[in-house]
Amino acid sequence: MSLDREVVEYLSRERGIDSAFIEKDWHAVRVLKALSGHSHEGITTIFTGGTSLSKGRGLLKRFSEDLDFRVRFHEAKTKNQLKKKKSAFRLSLIEALRQIDDISFDDDDVKVDGLGFKIQLTYPKLFDAPNGIRPDLQIEFSFTQPRLEEEYREITSFVAEYKNEQPEAGFLCLSPLEIAADKFSSLVWRVLKRNREDAKDDPAMLRHLHDLCALQGVIAENDQLFVATALESFAQDQERPNRQVLLPLGEAAVKTVTAIQEDALYRQEYEQFVDAMSYADDEEKIVFDEALAHFQNLAHEKFCAQDFSGSSIN
């Protein structure tokens, strides 16, 4: 099955979305469809991140550069057994990806570390990607164990949606509340540890500021669980030396607000990100001041109002 160029161009005009994004979305859903049929004994693969929030739940109206997954292990394992399980899962998943027509990658495109692995996938392109946008599709698998229950969601590409076709794929998706909690922790340590001179500096970290504002309804529905989950996420992040900020989450979050307020480049980077990645109507787009005000309220009202040091998820 090939992508219809005329359909993509029509959609681009009608929705004001760059054709390259619609093309990437179509291939991403093809990958999701293939992975939804992949299974490995004792393991559940869970779709997470910004793309799961937009494609699986309709909570975001922005593009994401990649597909993120969590890998849940159901059986208690020794370290050696778990290492073998992770390796076997990775190899079987790589084999499943190699079966997808027009999707390719080399061994050098597979990057493995103790936290998981990621793969750069190449697909045939009818359209050039805009400047600053990754030309390929990155998929990343994290071995960090989910804290909350996942939920099955159907997923439809923009092209299939336009054609009024059935969803192409279905996937277990991580709880949006857990994603919000992870994003809160991630924004804090990324801002406080940031070095713009670093070759790996990532201005797109401001997606977390944007997404937290978009998820404010989800957070408000169960704010105590959000706080507890964010504290656990932050505690786990702080076990990694490159993420340590040496402050409790509440203090670190307030310091993050100040750092963003005092650095005018953050506003510019945020606006560039939203202009490039959001497909919301102009009146629905989340502006910088709104997003920062929401994060500031979370920092002060949820994490500094009282001592949550003993909080945990029951």
CB atoms within 10 A of CB 152: 11
Q: What is the CATH number of domain 5-173?
A: 3.30.460
Please write the tens of the pLDDT for every residue from 262-302. 999 999 999 999 998 999 999 999 999 999 999 999 999 99
For the cut 50, the answer to whether the pLDDT of residue 199 exceeds it is yes
pTM across the whole model: 0.92
Task: Tell me the C-alpha distance between 167 and 178, whole Å.
Answer: 25
66-73 vs 137-142, strand pairing mode:
parallel
Please give the pLDDT value at position 117. 97
Q: Which residues pair with 119 in a beta bridge?
A: 110, 139
Task: Tell me the C-alpha distance between 88 and 77, whole Å.
Answer: 14
Please write the tens of the pLDDT for every residue from 110-154. 999 989 999 999 999 999 988 767 889 999 999 999 999 999 999
Please give the pLDDT value at position 75. 76
Q: Where are the domains of the chain?
A: 5-173, 176-302
CB atoms within 10 A of CB 2: 8
Residue 259: band (very low, low, confident or very high) from pLDDT cuts 50, 70, 90? very high
For the cut 70, the answer to whether the pLDDT of residue 189 exceeds it is yes
DSSP 197: T
DSSP 239: T
- Asked if residues 162 and 25 have their Cβ atoms less than 8 Å apart, the reply is no
Task: Tell me the C-alpha distance between 94 and 104, whole Å.
Answer: 11
Please give the pLDDT value at position 10. 96
